[in-house]
Amino acid sequence: MNRVFLVLMIVLGLAACKDKSTLNLSDPLQSGRGFIEESLKGNYDEAKKYMATDSTNTDYLERLKDFYKKMGESEKNGLKNANIIINGTENISDSVVILNYSNTFKKIPSKVKLIKVNNEWRVDFKYTFSGNL
């Protein structure tokens, strides 16, 4: 009996320590939601894992991180507890998707562009600010 209990505790412990950094980049909706969710929570190191790597995207994310640091606690908590609302998607091509979304806290429509790079869907964050495809 003790052995079964010990094995069960080890299995449950390993499940609790499961690596949450496993990203689902095979679907644009999942990649977009992951990026948005981590951004709302202020987890910008995690959000960055969903982005296409370039200096402009990194710069915009750093600016957002700085802006978030200056927010009041009530606004941060509102964003952390917000749900993502997917308003729609626009399939521009087989490698470009625009995700239209808002959240239950701010309720402001926003867009994020996802691009397919090496069979992974990555956020092209600069689109959110420039609107250029």
- pLDDT, the chain, mean: 86
The domains of the chain are located at: 25-130
| Stated length of the chain | 133
Residues 68-118: tens digit of each pLDDT: 999 999 999 999 999 999 999 999 999 999 999 999 999 999 999 999 999
Supply the pTM of this predicted model: 0.80
pLDDT, residue 65, reads: 95
The candidate with the shortest Cα–Cα distance to 50, out of 69, 28, 65, is 28
Match domain 25-130 to its CATH number in 3.30.70.420, 3.40.720.10, 3.40.50.720, 3.10.450.50.
3.10.450.50
Residue 102 · residue 88 · CB < 8 Å: no
Confidence label for 23 from pLDDT (cuts 50, 70 and 90): confident
